[in-house]
Structure 1
């Protein structure tokens, strides 16, 4: 047909005529040919699309949702909008302020579960690092007693004092209060560093405008540095206020009368709270490979002991170490190690664990190390002093008089100093976070919300600030194009799912009515008589659709009549059935001699019987 350049309509018509007229395909004509193939393929394609649409729709929706957050900041900005840069600047500054405040104050939405935020780290500085720095000042007991004895002797001079001098107490207290300046200033420096890190983290969304991000970081960091000096001045002022007047009438101050009872009270208090748990957590014990290697254990620190277990259920205890005569020591981190290490050792040179003189404990971060050190300080385990300081203390300790009266005075002043310094420490612990929050953190938040925009306008040209990097512009265009393509795809899929009508595949052709004839083909059948044989009752086989019945066909067969074809006259010429449309066939064919339902038997041959050819089955399409 292609070579002959036949028209497609004519080719389809010829194809249909072929299947209708061919004996092997006429009963399958409706399931053969190009139209049926087209219908079946279309049905299969429709079913496949219908099955895959839900998964494709959910995948597109998830991609659109992931892009929604990134496109949110600039999906409404049009390049041809003259106010686009102004809108972008305002939105970026507002977003920066919101992100900074969320990092400091905390937020319930979009919580980071992998890292601590700036506010959480500042909270640890307030309540773990700063108290740790304060507690470190309290462990130098020998040095403090030596200073008290020197103060008492210098106040008495050449005279022999009968009473404990008040001036010695005041001098020692002021010297201890002055020592508070260092941990307070260190706390401010730590908070400033976390604030600057928070600012840099909050400006990550300004990456699309490099100049704007750089200028924003510079302005805010400069403001934080300015507030740094003011905050330090205010904290030093607080310490100077404490130095200006020693209030011995404070309600928590023990007074001279109760100073002698302080030691006994402390000992009783320590005996009452032996099982108080100070801290729990995972630590790694660093042991040489020959002795088992490093292992992680669950540690429980109480007021009297350090225990470690196999896991946090605390059922299988591995060891319990008393805290008597223990001290802490810093250990340098190994070259290939990523953990931070500190050690516990016995001051009397005894083995701490098995045959080890010290136990090395490792944490993942330096913050965890500092937190554990602060917990050990609360339990009475203090850091090790430098070696030269120990030597100086031992050499000077020999010069201290062993006068019993002086020892009693030193003990009295020591208890008074301990009581008053505890009051000062409590006050400083309370005022330091408040001062830093007011003068530095809250002031920085107000500056970002109210003054940052004005500083940005005065810093330079707005156009230069809002210049996008080439990479960011390309990324923005790609994201916007992908975003709109996903939305359009979802719209198209929605239309398909609502307008497509799926019809089931046509059922198979019912060919049960075809008689499976075991007689030879019509061409080889011997000539039969022109007269019809007698009709048998339809008791052997049921009704079967087939060729048209004879004139006296019993209605029990129920087969539809088939119109006669032109040919020689037969016994059915007198049939009263109405004429039916003719089926194209050979002109010499006549109705069959045997009615349907008669067993297939070949009658005896007759010499004058003409050959009868069975007609083809009728087609409902004709």
Structure 2
């Protein structure tokens, strides 16, 4: 039993050499609020003044304190064996220095705290390891933590630090509380209750019992009736501030404490279970029992850590390479592995297939069918080609002649630039596949090649050069596919919607539009007549009216109109002097006239325009003929023509040409021009669709053949031919410095675990 605490101290020393806390070793963690007497309790246990003192936060780093009884423990040097060795202290950060003056120990703690945590009131998690050898102490391992304080700037940091230590199940919590404060407000007991709700590994310490008000005592607490703990409460009386200033000896302080408990009426009966001596013995006994209970679990945990560390160390590979043949074997194995992973990633047979996103060959498929295909489908066959552009192309291709048919040269002139639109997305498809292959190349290698960064870089360079070499021929071939399509416009293609079919379709469409327009005019005429009924209501026909109603209405109107004309001839004979077209006789219908006046015309004058009477038409003069144009309905429209040489003005050819070219009338197309433009548009769309389908099929095939398949088949041969050279082996197998450091750290960790396992086996 006496060897258990030194055993844990040895384990702690072993693990401290690598700064590892992976193994939760049994230890006593001291928790208390600021000014609760926590530091005084530790100094009384050690029987030395060695802790920093002062106002505010003094303890700002955890202090791991190992107490070694020199009668039980092994002396540190052979020169001191058999001699009365004085009490001394050693710091882990100063392994070759011993402190015999404990005032120097205090100053070193202050300096080391300031070095890591700074001069201000900052908190650091890095512990200070201190070992004290003395014949007056019992073997203990204590951890002194910063006191719980109320300032909001560091309160959270302090609580988190304390919880990190007391949460470990192998830690025994030493909760220090002042007796002159209500126990319900004890910060140490509150924190202990959070991590140890059943109070199985918490021991309470009551300080300042001598400062309680007269007539009060803590007997109920010390006996476990007020606040039950499995390990109980122990009362202590520390030196007062005046005793510390007067440097009262520890022996006198112990005697004063004993006299207090034995002479106090309330504590006299339990005085044998109070005081610092009893606290030290209790902590020693609790810690040894705790170690005995946890030692099998610690041994199993260390054994498990040995296995995991060995596996991690093996993943870094063997750092020694025996002979040139061994290096050649490693080079060839890594070359083959890299090439195999590259091909497997393209074929979708990789062992590390992602389930979160597309990768490898699946992304190439996505480029072909989604990115490239969608881009081609989104291209407008007549993009950047207006109807006016097509009209000018048709007219320019006719030259000074007119033609009975649309010139084929205009179609070829217009369709070739449209086929050129397919070139840019096709070349972009090649680039996207190339970029994807480069990404696949960078993802190959794994952890085995990570230890040789130069080798890995060379592998990527060789494969990237191979891909870059294939990018040029593939792009040139794809570009030639577009040039081939533009070099010969095959109008005999079986899927091409030829000119004859286009003309038939356009002719049917034109006839349909003409029929609709004629029907609309007739309906408008009927609506006009029916709108003049006797009751003043309008009878309007729409497209849904029957043809029979329209015919009957037109027939009735013709009969009525014939009767009106016969009456007109009779009136003309009776009134030959009425040459102005007005009927002023008593037989004239009121309001009826034939001069086209608004609101007084007949059906034909309203529908077809004014109809001049025979013998009363005024012929226009020759000058009026030059400036007037009579339309189909008899209405005249003034037309302004530019003056020519015949008018006595010089002819400015450039100005006249600009007038004609920029004229609005010149840019407008007639019915024939409109049909020709529509015909060319339909032919361009038909031929462009044929070419687009061909390009959409040929480009992926060309990329797969010239770039993807060629690269996957040639990658291993290229790697071997470029890198499998003896003069390169030494440089290629140069290991990464960080990996070497990680391997050394892992090896040191393995040695520590093995050493700890040996120590436990020897002790058990």
TM range, normalised to the smaller chain? 0.3 to 0.5
TM, length-normalised to structure 1:
0.44
Structure whose CA Rg is larger:
2
Structure with the higher fraction of residues in helix conformation: 2
TM, length-normalised to structure 2:
0.37
